[in-house]
Structure 1
Amino acid sequence: MNIDEEIKKIIKKKDYDFWIFLEKAYENNVKLDIGHFILLNLLIGIYDLYKNLCDSLGEDRAKEIFNSYKIFAKNSDYISGEFLKKYINRKSRVAVHNRIKDLKSLGFKIESKSGAYGGYKLIDVPEWFKR
């Protein structure tokens, strides 16, 4: 399994109704860009990828692979802000934080942790967001 290719597939997924998403953003005065969708896809898809790797290769090997790609923050299961920022092509994790804040304002429950063990984890999606 090529992790880079799998991540590219995750980023390009379009499993949700874009128009409803756009309507909710408009109602909440959130200005969307492609980074919001990329982050959301990663927050959803990374855990699916991790589960698939655990099922096929075992948890230890899956953790080893995720550590080598620096997907999870150090010794945690939170997706690293450093990892996320490179996929939205920004130099600062603040760009990730701002988009996560926007997604939260749209009703996405996203846990955030700061520091070396921090990152982001999607906990729940709003009722209107159906894949």
Structure 2
Amino acid sequence: MNSTFQCVVLLACVAACTSLVSKRCLCLTTRDRENRRLIVDVKERPPRPYCSRYEVIAVLRTGRSSCLNPRSDFTRDIVRSFRKMKEEAMRRVKLNGRETTMTVSTKTPSTTPSTNPSRTQSTTPSTTPPVV
């Protein structure tokens, strides 16, 4: 009977220990800057009961994350620019009448091959007078 009780307590402890999520600060070390072209998203984490620090995490194109120093000028600028981009994207979504969530990417749009204007024929008449 005593060993059965010990097994039950041991199993309960193992289950409790494995199911707990480790809650701690994500950023143990921070960087003052990161290559701006590699950053695709910025996540801000305010202070929480288990972490008293404000954390800024940059998600890079390579798939890894980098913790930025929230007090550096670089981090303040990048957070401000990403907030502005996200607000503009949400404003555009609301103007289009669609209330959907949207991820913001800083990738440059691909350019289409340019056509030679001398080879294309315009079907609309030109509004500018010819130069004499």
In the superposition, the TM-score normalised over structure 1's length comes to 0.27
Whose RCO is larger (CA < 8 A, sep 6+)? Answer: 1
Structure with bigger helix share is: 1
In the superposition, the TM-score normalised over structure 2's length comes to 0.27
The structure having more radius of gyration, on CA atoms, is 2
Structure with bigger strand share is: 2
